[in-house]
Chain A
Amino acid sequence: MQHAFAPSASHPQPQQRQFNPYSENGGTILAIAGANFSVIAGDTRQSEGYSIQTRYAPKVFRLTDKAVLATNGFAADGNMFVKKVRQRLEWYRHAHAKDMSLRAIARLIQTMLYARRFFPYYVYNILGGIEEDGSGAVYSFDPVGSYEREACRAAGAAQSLVQPFLDNQIYFKNQTPAPGTSHPAHLPLNHVLSLVIDSFTSATERHIEVGDGLEMYVVLAKGTPLQGLDAIQGITEMTATDDGERMFIIRRNLKRD
């Protein structure tokens, strides 16, 4: 039986086409926390549908010397959100003459996201950096501000490809340790970096929205040795203050097809 209110060809319903204020710009982001460091990474492709808009649009941003924010989803919202977070951090600096702590930034981000609960920033955020106690930390958020601290998180187009890989390699899910041994709680920096690079080369192979370039931010806690970071080709130090934490960026090419 036809529903009484179903539109029919002879009596067409008035059509309402609504302007859609959102878009989806592809790409993937990822962050992993170590014992005394944190790595935050993202690819640099920006796309819409099947079109690559640009091969270089950063979506990982330095906030302070100990905090890095990666955004993924609707690029216009992401850029505007980062702009507003940075503005709040600047006001904090003017008021308190110091940088905001990582956990405070995390709460600030949740407040700012939830303030737009009924017209959300269509953005998945991952915040990485160093806590006040010197530990590496990763916070992940949903678009309306739910958040938690984790050891690792992937988000974006290739989240479903990367996150299971990280679960296996970082949390050792579905792995049993050799008799008499146990899985390490934290991995060393060089190991984490190769996991990140492998994650993105794999995602690039299998996901059309991932590729072109890779940007990896490394944040080291106070007094942490470089652990061979200085030997990495194409690494640039971005540390701006003498608070003790150090920040680096590593760039890599990804396949462009």
Chain B
Amino acid sequence: MDHFPLNWGRPRNDAVDSYSTYPITQRPNHAPKDAFSAGIQHTQQPIVTGTSVLAIKFKDGIMMAADNLASYGSLARFRDIQRLHAVGEHTVLGAGGDMSDFQYIQSILDELMIDEFAAGDGHALGPAEVHNYLSELMYARRSKMNPLWNAMLVGGFKDGQRFLAYVDMLGTTYSASTLATGYGAHIAQPLLRRAVEGREDTLDEEEARKIIEQSMKVLFYRDARSLDKYQIATITAAGVHISDSLQIETSWSFAEGLRGYGAQTQ
């Protein structure tokens, strides 16, 4: 008999013991197993992946975008995946990389926000806190050689302050007025910088949207792992808004004149 009630106090694990069939004195042991002897497998490569995330600062806050595709290698596997996730009232998280890892991160953050809500102390976590939490999480996991395979942007607006920062699977962090992950860092980032740098405090929401739309279009033309269906998140003093899925209007008629595209006669 275990006479320490606190040892009984572990929540039941429904995955293992859904009907509470174990007597409390011989509960199954859920303690972490020794990583060496148990031969635990760690993520060595991403499986189902999302591509770029873009974000910029504008006059009233942050605008972020990501498409709705989750790829399985070169297969466009899931075409209705949300890669923008609201964290509380002031923050949006956008992710590329492994989508199962991202969804796991979402559940961690959701639990964190519920804990904060239950504390009922009048404080709310803002984007800076969420970003720092994530960077510690990502760095801790990479240090265990068991990374969460993602590159993420955290955007937010709280107490009159804009916030925009990056964090990835290595725990690397940085902040700038325009950010892009993955392929977008190579293709969209230069466009974003030219459009935004020095104009962060004058761009209005409509202009910001134009810039984002244009960059998403260029990415769809150039990135073979992208989709013409995407969402835009805006975070301002009014809170978080994530749009319904939007369609990129494209024209491919120019390609008819290209060798290697479509039916070739010679």
**Contact, chains A and B (beta carbon distance below 8 A):** yes
Taking CB atoms, residues of chain B closer than 8 Å to A21 are 142-143, 145, 147, 170
Q: From residue A188, how far is it (CB to closest CB) to chain B in Å?
A: 36
Q: Across the two chains, which residue of chain B brings its CB closest to A51?
A: B185
In the complex, A55→B171 CA distance in Å?
Answer: 19
Contact with B along A31-64 (1 / 0, CB 8 A): 0000000000000001010010111110000000
Whether A54 and B170, one on each chain, are in contact in the complex, defined by CB atoms closer than 8 angstroms, is no
Taking CB atoms, residues of chain B closer than 8 Å to A17 are 44-45
Whether A56 and B145, one on each chain, are in contact in the complex, defined by CB atoms closer than 8 angstroms, is no
In the complex, A119→B143 CA distance in Å?
Answer: 9
Taking CB atoms, residues of chain A closer than 8 Å to B45 are 17
Q: Tell me if A79 is interfacial: C-beta within 8 Å of chain B.
A: yes
Whether A19 and B147, one on each chain, are in contact in the complex, defined by CB atoms closer than 8 angstroms, is yes
Query: Which of A19, A22, A54, A74 contacts B174, CB < 8 Å?
Result: A54
Q: Tell me if B243 is interfacial: C-beta within 8 Å of chain A.
A: no
Contact with A along B168-184 (1 / 0, CB 8 A): 00111111100000000
Interface size class of A (residues with CB under 8 A): 20 to 34
Q: Across the two chains, which residue of chain A brings its CB closest to B172?
A: A76
Q: Tell me if B77 is interfacial: C-beta within 8 Å of chain A.
A: no
Taking CB atoms, residues of chain B closer than 8 Å to A56 are 175-176
Most chain A CB atoms below 10 A, which of B43, B145, B171 = B171
Q: Tell me if B139 is interfacial: C-beta within 8 Å of chain A.
A: yes
Whether A19 and B186, one on each chain, are in contact in the complex, defined by CB atoms closer than 8 angstroms, is no
Which residues between 48 and 96 of chain A lie within 8 Å of chain B, taking CB atoms?
48, 51, 53-57, 74-76, 79-80
Q: From residue A113, how far is it (CB to closest CB) to chain B in Å?
A: 15
Q: Tell me if B42 is interfacial: C-beta within 8 Å of chain A.
A: yes
In the complex, A19→B98 CA distance in Å?
Answer: 14
In the complex, A75→B142 CA distance in Å?
Answer: 14
Query: Which of A18, A51, A76, A119 contacts B170, CB < 8 Å?
Result: A76
Taking CB atoms, residues of chain B closer than 8 Å to A119 are 143
Q: Tally A-B pairs: CB < 8 A.
A: 50
Whether B176 and A54, one on each chain, are in contact in the complex, defined by CB atoms closer than 8 angstroms, is yes
Q: Which applies to chain A's interface (DSSP): helix, strand, loop or mixed?
A: loop
Whether B44 and A19, one on each chain, are in contact in the complex, defined by CB atoms closer than 8 angstroms, is yes
Q: Tell me if B163 is interfacial: C-beta within 8 Å of chain A.
A: no
Q: Across the two chains, which residue of chain B brings its CB closest to A46?
A: B174
Q: Tell me if A25 is interfacial: C-beta within 8 Å of chain B.
A: yes
Q: Tell me if B230 is interfacial: C-beta within 8 Å of chain A.
A: no
Q: From residue B198, how far is it (CB to closest CB) to chain A in Å?
A: 12
Taking CB atoms, residues of chain A closer than 8 Å to B42 are 19
Q: Tell me if B166 is interfacial: C-beta within 8 Å of chain A.
A: yes
In the complex, A22→B171 CA distance in Å?
Answer: 10
In the complex, A75→B166 CA distance in Å?
Answer: 13
Which residues between 1 and 41 of chain A lie within 8 Å of chain B, taking CB atoms?
17-19, 21-23, 25
Known: A17-B44, A51-B186. A22 touches B176 (CB 8 A): no
Whether B174 and A57, one on each chain, are in contact in the complex, defined by CB atoms closer than 8 angstroms, is yes
Q: From residue B195, how far is it (CB to closest CB) to chain A in Å?
A: 16
Taking CB atoms, residues of chain A closer than 8 Å to B185 are 51
Q: From residue A211, how far is it (CB to closest CB) to chain B in Å?
A: 14
In the complex, A17→B186 CA distance in Å?
Answer: 25
Taking CB atoms, residues of chain B closer than 8 Å to A25 are 172
Taking CB atoms, residues of chain A closer than 8 Å to B174 are 46, 53-54, 57, 75
In the complex, A19→B142 CA distance in Å?
Answer: 9
Which residues between 91 and 139 of chain A lie within 8 Å of chain B, taking CB atoms?
119
Whether A75 and B143, one on each chain, are in contact in the complex, defined by CB atoms closer than 8 angstroms, is no
In the complex, A46→B176 CA distance in Å?
Answer: 11
Taking CB atoms, residues of chain A closer than 8 Å to B171 are 76, 80
Q: Across the two chains, which residue of chain A brings its CB closest to B146?
A: A19
Q: Across the two chains, which residue of chain B brings its CB closest to A22?
A: B170
Taking CB atoms, residues of chain B closer than 8 Å to A23 are 170, 172
Q: From residue B46, how far is it (CB to closest CB) to chain A in Å?
A: 11
Taking CB atoms, residues of chain A closer than 8 Å to B135 are 76
Q: From residue A209, how far is it (CB to closest CB) to chain B in Å?
A: 14
Query: Which of A19, A51, A55, A80 contacts B139, CB < 8 Å?
Result: A80
In the complex, A206→B242 CA distance in Å?
Answer: 44
Taking CB atoms, residues of chain B closer than 8 Å to A76 are 135, 139, 142, 170-173
Q: Using a CB–CB distance below 8 Å, which chain A residues touch chain B?
A: 17-19, 21-23, 25, 46, 48, 51, 53-57, 74-76, 79-80, 119
Task: List 6 additional contacts besides A55-B176, A76-B135; criterion CB under 8 Å.
Answer: A19-B145, A21-B147, A22-B170, A25-B172, A53-B172, A76-B172
In order of increasing CB-CB distance, the 7 nearest A-B pairs are A76-B171, A54-B174, A54-B176, A76-B172, A53-B174, A21-B142, A57-B174
- Please list 5 pairs of residues, one from A and one from B, whose beta carbons are closer than 8 Å in the complex, sorted by A's number: A19-B43, A51-B189, A57-B175, A74-B172, A76-B170
Q: Using a CB–CB distance below 8 Å, which chain B residues touch chain A?
A: 42-45, 135, 139, 142-143, 145, 147, 166, 170-176, 185-186, 189
